[in-house]
Chain A
Amino acid sequence: MQLRNIGTIFRKEVKDTIRDRRTMIFAFVMPIMAMPLLMTVIFKIQMGAVQKIEHARSDIVIQNIAELPKDLHDSLMADTSLFQVKTEADYPGKNLLDELKQKAFQLLVIVPNNFTKAIELESPTGIEVYYDRGEELSSAAYGKLDSVMTCYRDRVVESRVVKRQISKDVLRPFDIQGNNVASAQKVAGKLFGGIIPYFLILTCFLGAMSPAIDLGAGEKERGTIETLMVAPATRGEFVLGKYFVIMLTGIMAGLMSLASMTIFFRYMASDPTMKQMAEMLAIQFDMRTLFLILAVVIPVAGIFAAILLSISIFAKSAKEAQGYVGFLNFVLVLPAFAALVPGVELNYQIALIPIVNISLIIKYAIAGTIEWKYVITAFVSLFALAALALYFAKRWFEREEVLFRM
């Protein structure tokens, strides 16, 4: 094994790969664009939906509105942007429950006869509200109505207590004050800690995929494999030269994606319209976290590169390779979802499972709660697998049946 030959092969493949537009899209453009695009779309949809529900005016029909106490009536009418109040007179001859189901309006309130009187006399009474739990707008309207009603009831209770010359403090013996001790980083880590490693691992795979197909199956497709096999460099030198280029592209793609995410979160957190999400966005990629993420991306790319190169050199054409890689993408990147599954915690066993360990380590690192003993365990497992995969790729490259498969 000569370093000079590996260098020659490496340099040639780098040059060839840089000029490959497809690879450059997968390794640079996509990782930079993917996360911000996806997140923006998700945010926009979510914020839009929340706004639509919270700010939509709800149509409510109050049957027997004349029996509503004046105080409550006024509160319902007070904010016309909150409720548009109608009565049964607006739906003559119609079954109001059916109309509600048909979404003609969002709430149906049925006031019993003598409701005002019952409240004045302090005798038990009730009010019926119908809503459609399957409709977000209807549920939201119910929530709004419920809070208006509850406020009114509290006022009634207060007035009754005061009438009996009892202090209203009796109604509220103590306050509960909830205080969140989690740092913003931890909260954000829990929220995004799962999706970030998934993106990193996916972009790393996609970055390595394109050059792997080109450097392996591509040699067969172009008809250059034979010239390589009769050139005086050894098969091992070819494997290593190619391997490092593929790995480097994978790392590059991961880096691009990481850089893009860092900038994206900084930018979003500083966007005033994102104020209500500020805490969620408090992802701080401090130097230590960044360094750790970088360090794990290297063995991941190493594993992907070796497996992809083996598969690719086995395939007879780029198309065949693409088929295998599609399946591989599923198998290799799926475990990255581990960090998205609630309740999956790092321990020694899980730290040994490749990809799963990475996604959890990144998640914990972002949340700032990483434990080094697991990081070391994971690294041992990852490097062992990368070495094994590389050894396998080399053996594979030495087999005639693989190189000249019919």
Chain B
Amino acid sequence: MIEARELCKNFKDKKRGVVKAVDHVSFSCKAGEVYGLLGPNGAGKTTTLRILSTALKPTSGTAIINGTDVTVDPQKVRSQIGFLSGNTGLYGRLTAREMVTYFGNLYGMEKQAIRRRSDELFALLDMKDFADSRNEKLSTGMKQKVSIVRSVLHDPPVMVFDEPTNGLDVMSSRTIVDFIKHCRDSGKCVIFSTHIMSEAMRLCDRVAIIHNGRIYREGTVNDLLQATGQNNLEDAFIKIVGE
């Protein structure tokens, strides 16, 4: 469902010159699978996910999302994807319902469909009490729930999460983790990035170790542990990247 082929992305940076943020990255991810990009800050995770979700154009290489090439028809790709990141913000002066409706409209959904689907999701995530109050009045956890509803309202087959638990407390992180599992169980193809090893171990069917824009190794968590002879992912990561 997601297929990244030799993705490259160069940025021109004033101080550092040309930065190879993503360097020949290839991988694939099927429906019903959670694929993790595990790497430290600056590894190129966000850039990779932005290319997949068409916010950025690759310098070279391409990705096929649910059969559509991101460089050929980005518009069509966008409607196939739900996108959520840890620092996704909300419109403070809109209510959760208004905000979600706005995005539903942008995704071309019909009025009744938006209404039905958002009610369903508000109930599922236990949001009924604050669905009609302004976003600026909500707690961080509540806000993240609004973002979740926004990202899946149009029921996309592919979900892209960029460090979705960044800056969240334990309870809200749990909501996100449960939500990712829910997406996987309902047959979506999920790609997700993190720098937290334990999160990757807990959630991912397969993990790619990414560093300096390159994928060093890829496989199930067990594969990676076995191949490096370590018993936790953190040590395995150091071993792989240090080689």
Contact = CB atoms under 8 A, between A and B. Distances in A.
A232 B88 contact: no
Interface string B78-95: 110101010111111110
B107 A231 contact: yes
Contacts of B85: 223, 226
A404 B11 CA distance: 11
Interface string A381-406: 00000000000000000001001101
Interface stretch (A15-23, A65-73, A153-161, A196-204): A15-23
B83 A227 contact: yes
Interface string B94-109: 1000100011011110
Given A5-B106, A232-B107, A232-B108, A404 B56 contact: yes
Given A227-B83, A232-B108, A400 B56 contact: yes
A16 B92 CA distance: 9
Given A232-B78, A406-B13, A226 B94 contact: no
A304 B53 CA distance: 33
B75 interface: yes
A379 B57 CA distance: 39
B88 A227 contact: yes
B88 A16 contact: no
B206 interface: no
Nearest to B105: A8
Contacts of B144: none
B227 interface: no
A19 B89 contact: no
Given A12-B102, A231-B106, A232-B106, A226 B91 contact: no
A50 B95 CA distance: 57
B193 interface: no
Contacts of B93: 15-16, 19-20
Interface residues of A, number: 24
Interface string A111-127: 00000000000000000
A8 B102 contact: yes
Contacts of B57: 400
B165 interface: no
Nearest to A8: B105
B118 interface: no
Interface residues on B, range: 20 to 34
A9 B106 CA distance: 8
A290 interface: no
Contacts of B105: 8
Contacts of A223: 85, 87-89
Contact of A15 (B54, B56, B94): B94
Given A5-B106, A224-B89, A227-B150, A234 B98 contact: no
Chain A contact residues, majority secondary structure: helix
A231 B106 CA distance: 7
Contacts of A400: 56-57
Contacts of B98: 12, 15
Contacts of A8: 102, 105-106
A224 B56 CA distance: 16
B55 A404 contact: yes
Contact of B103 (A19, A231, A406): A231
Given A226-B85, A227-B83, A230-B81, A16 B91 contact: yes
A6 B100 CA distance: 17
A373 interface: no
A224 B87 CA distance: 9
A233 B105 CA distance: 10
A404 B106 CA distance: 21
A5 B75 CA distance: 13
19 contacts: A9-B106, A12-B98, A16-B93, A16-B94, A222-B90, A223-B89, A224-B88, A224-B91, A227-B83, A227-B88, A227-B150, A229-B54, A229-B55, A230-B81, A231-B103, A231-B107, A232-B79, A234-B75, A400-B57
